[in-house]
């Protein structure tokens, strides 16, 4: 014990001494000293440092080490790359979950090997000590609060309440009749090659499939892989993947190879495909092309929990949108079909598709609607009037003659929070009518409109004075209808500054966006 004085009161401060295992060289005689209330934490840090200097002692002490000292000691050993101590601590971890991913700012193969070796020690133990409770090894970059509380960088004390509040909660499927350890991770594969880190983990997990389940809830491909993605994913539980993003240019053939795995993602909630293109060997081979189409489109029928669908530059949708959406059995919340070519039959089906009647977000940016029968757009908005919160019709080639049918339906979408009509071809008169039909849209917080056609000269350059005058008129029209929050009128690209002329709600002059 150390006695300190605070004012006239004597304050008794308790120091955890690792059950007598660490010599602290503190006199047992009462000593009157001035100490800050954080001094016990500093002494604990010194105790941990003393323990980590003796590797054999540290490992032998784990069976008697108080559980509240495990997280800060593990964090210190991790920072110092003391792999032997880490290996032993993983096996002896006294909590159900070890959120090691929060500590991994960089991929370190030696650290990974040590952590997985520790998991091996745990798996190989037939009669585990009751204090060894690890069930989930979490490689996700989350649960930072767990380490902050235990390290003393956030308010909190080491008590059973803090243990339950900071320990991550992980839900995962269980294999009947088998005792398994779960590994959690999210993958963002930015390179076309697999890194050494992931190659090692794949090799390690493949050898232990009978006693291990690997769960990846979020999977992103940021490049066209030069490896077979199916071989990589064979170690994962595909039914646990909830978000899949292909944020790279994949060719049709690669996507069709990957498609069977997509069909196994029974709990997938978010799906994003970006830039799926046609390779030359498929372009001229009609039989191969149709086979790839069927293979991909069929998998949508397996996605019973899909809620958010993003398709950007996916050429295979043209004249096939009905085949994709008809296979969906649950209502979507988000539908973003952008930079895609859609036929009138596609838009006609979309306006009556059962899967979209609960949409909260619709994005058709970059879908040219000039040749689409405009009553179809009106019917589509009418169906979504009760739920739609975000509407993006940016760069859709919308013109004045189409707005007459759209506006009455738009005025009924009273839940709208965000609208974007930028890069369309609308006159000052048409834009005023558009704003007048937003009187009932009182929840709008972000509005983006194109600058009217009248602000351009004969060769398409912006006339700054005319731009400011027209946008000022539009803003006055809007203020006369309701109280706007965040509004922008944006021109086409300015040749002088290579940006966009923008008129903002509170601005008296236009500015430029790059």
pLDDT at 120: 95
The answer to whether residue 507 scores a pLDDT higher than 80 is no
Which residues share a beta bridge with 218?
Answer: 243
> Given the structure tokens 């971890």, which residue do they identify?
93
Q: How confident is the model at residue 467 (pLDDT cuts 50, 70, 90)?
A: very high
3-class DSSP assignment, residue 377: helix
Q: Are 320 and 297 in contact (CB under 8 A)?
A: yes
Percent of the chain with pLDDT over 90: 65
> Which whole-number Å values give the CA distances from 388 to 31, 259, 346, 502, in the listed order?
70, 31, 20, 27
Q: Which one, of 219, 353, 192, lies nearest residue 273 by Cα?
A: 219
- Residue 78 domain flag: yes
Task: List b or e across 329-365, with b for residues whose CB sees 16 or more CB atoms inside 10 angstroms.
Answer: eeebbbbbbbbbebbeebbbbbbebebbeebbbbbbb
**Predicted local distance difference test score (pLDDT) of residue 8:** 36
Quote the CA–CA distance of 12 and 39 in Å, as a whole number.
12
- The per-residue pLDDT for 125 is 85
Parallel/antiparallel/unpaired status of strands 361-363 and 390-392: parallel
Report if residue 320 sits inside a domain: no
**Residue 458 resides in a domain:** no
Please check the confidence at residue 33 and state whether its pLDDT lies above 60: no
Task: Count CB atoms within 10 A of the CB of residue 10.
Answer: 11
Q: Is the pLDDT of residue 14 over 50?
A: no
pLDDT tens digits, residue range 248-300?
A: 999 998 999 999 999 999 999 999 999 998 877 776 778 888 899 999 999 99
Q: Is residue 46 very low, low, confident or very high in pLDDT (cuts 50, 70, 90)?
A: confident
Contact between 448 and 488 under an 8 Å Cβ cutoff? The reply is yes
Per the structure, how many domains does the chain have?
1
pLDDT(31) > 60? no
**Quick one: residue 91, left, alpha or beta (phi over 0 = left, psi -120 to 50 = alpha)?**
alpha
Query: How confident is the model over 54-72, as pLDDT tens digits?
Result: 999 999 999 889 988 899 9
- H or E element in which residue 274 lies: strand 270-277
pLDDT at 160: 46
Distance, in Å, from the CA atom of 474 to the CA atom of 454, rounded to the nearest integer, reads 12
pLDDT band at 499 (very low <50, low <70, confident <90, very high): low
Angle of the 374-383 helix axis to the 400-410 helix axis, nearest 10: 20
Q: What is the mean pLDDT of residues 324-337?
A: 94
Average pLDDT over residues 111-134: 91
- Give me the domain span that covers residue 118: 2-166
DSSP 171-210: -----TT---EEEE--EEE-SSS--HHHHHHHHHHHTTTT
Structural domain includes residue 55: yes
CA-closest candidate to residue 297, choices 316, 274, 278, 271: 316
Give me the count of residues in the chain.
514
Do residues 220 and 188 lie in contact, with contact meaning Cβ atoms separated by under 8 Å? yes
Per-residue pLDDT at 315 exceeds 60? yes
Tell me the pLDDT band of 48, cut-offs 50, 70 and 90: confident
Domain-embedded: residue 316: no
pLDDT tier for residue 74 given thresholds of 50, 70 and 90: very high
The answer to whether residue 504 sits within a structural domain is no
Residue 353 lies in a domain: no
User: 218 or 130, which is more confident?
Assistant: 218
Tokens read off for 397:
């080639």
The reported pLDDT for the residue numbered 142 is 79
Instruction: Indicate the average pLDDT of the chain.
Output: 84
Using the predicted structure, report yes or no on whether residue 238 has a pLDDT greater than 80. yes
Whether residue 17 is predicted with pLDDT greater than 50 in this model: the reply is no
Amino acid 288: pLDDT = 86
pLDDT value at position 512? 54
pLDDT value of residue 280: 73
Task: Give the neighbor-by-neighbor strand order of the sheet with 32-33.
Answer: 9-13, 2-6, 32-33
Strands of the sheet containing 212-215, edge to edge, are: 97-98, 136-138, 181-184, 212-215
Quote the DSSP letter at residue 69.
Answer: G
Number of H helices, E strands in the chain: 18, 21
Residue 169's pLDDT is: 52
Please tell me the distance from the alpha carbon of residue 152 to that of residue 75, in angstroms, as a whole number. Answer: 12
Pairwise pLDDT comparison (102 vs 157), residue with the higher score: 102
Mean pLDDT of 309-317: 93
Among 159-168, 199-208, 305-314, 499-508, the minimum mean pLDDT is found in 159-168
For the ranges 150-159, 322-331, 410-419, the one whose mean pLDDT is highest = 410-419
Structural domain contains residue 6: yes
Which stretch of 119-128, 354-363, 443-452, 479-488 has the lowest confidence by average pLDDT?
Answer: 119-128
Q: Give me the pLDDT at residue 18, please.
A: 37
> What pLDDT is recorded for position 19?
37
Residue 511 has pLDDT above 80, yes or no: no
What pLDDT, in 10s, does the model give residues 413-438?
A: 999 999 999 999 999 999 999 999 99
User: Scanning the structure block, which residue is given the tokens 């006609």?
Assistant: 348
Q: Determine the 3-state secondary structure of 9 from DSSP.
A: strand
């Amino acid at each position: 014990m150390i006695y300190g004085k605070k004012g006239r009161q004597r304050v008794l401060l308790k120091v955890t001494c690792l059950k007598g295992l660490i010599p602290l060289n503190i006199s047992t005689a009462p000593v009157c000293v001035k100490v800050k209330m954080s001094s016990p934490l500093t002494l604990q840090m010194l105790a941990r440092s003393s323990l980590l200097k003796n590797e054999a002692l540290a490992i032998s002490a784990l069976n008697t080490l108080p559980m509240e000292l495990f997280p800060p000691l593990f964090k210190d050993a991790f920072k110092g790359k003391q792999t032997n101590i880490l290996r032993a601590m993983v096996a002896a971890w006294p909590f159900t979950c070890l959120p090691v991913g929060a500590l991994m700012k960089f991929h370190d193969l030696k650290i990974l090997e040590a952590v997985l070796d520790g998991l091996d020690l745990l798996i190989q133990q037939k009669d585990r000590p009751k204090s060894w409770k690890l069930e989930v090894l979490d490689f996700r970059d989350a649960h930072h609060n767990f380490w902050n509380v235990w390290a003393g960088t956030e308010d909190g004390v080491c008590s059973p309440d803090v243990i339950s509040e900071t320990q991550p909660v992980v839900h995962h499927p269980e294999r009947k009749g088998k005792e398994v350890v779960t590994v959690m991770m999210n993958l963002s594969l930015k390179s076309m090659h697999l890194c050494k880190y992931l190659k090692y983990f794949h090799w390690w997990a493949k050898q232990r499939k009978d006693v291990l389940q690997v769960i990846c809830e979020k999977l992103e491909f940021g490049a066209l892989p030069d490896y077979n993605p199916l071989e990589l994913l064979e170690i994962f539980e595909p039914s646990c993947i909830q978000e899949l993003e292909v944020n790279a240019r994949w060719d049709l053939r690669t996507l069709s190879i990957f498609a069977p795995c997509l069909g196994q993602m029974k709990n997938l909630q978010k799906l994003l495909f970006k830039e799926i293109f046609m390779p030359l060997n498929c372009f001229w081979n009609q039989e191969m092309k149709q086979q790839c189409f069927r293979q991909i489109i069929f998998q949508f029928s397996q996605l019973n929990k899909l809620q958010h669908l993003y398709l950007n530059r996916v050429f295979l949708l043209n004249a096939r949108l009905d085949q994709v959406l008809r296979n969906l059995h649950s209502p979507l919340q988000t539908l973003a079909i952008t930079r895609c070519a859609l036929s009138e039959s596609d838009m006609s089906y979309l306006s009556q598709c059962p899967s979209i009647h609960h949409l909260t977000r619709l994005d058709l940016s970059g879908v040219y609607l000039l040749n689409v029968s405009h009553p179809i757009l009106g019917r589509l908005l009418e169906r979504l009037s009760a739920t739609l919160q975000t509407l993006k019709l940016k760069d859709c080639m919308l013109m004045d003659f189409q707005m007459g049918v759209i506006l009455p339906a738009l005025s009924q979408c009273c839940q709208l929070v965000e609208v974007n009509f930028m890069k369309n071809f609308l006159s000052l008169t048409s834009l005023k009518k558009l704003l007048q039909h937003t009187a009932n849209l009182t929840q709008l917080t972000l509005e983006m409109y194109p600058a009217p056609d009248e602000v351009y000269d004969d060769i398409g350059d912006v006339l700054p004075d005319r731009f400011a005058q027209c946008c000022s008129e539009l803003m006055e029209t809007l203020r006369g209808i309701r109280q706007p929050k965040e509004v922008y009128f944006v021109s086409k690209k300015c040749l002088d500054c290579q940006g966009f002329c923008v008129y903002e709600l509170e601005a008296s002059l236009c500015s430029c966006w790059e």
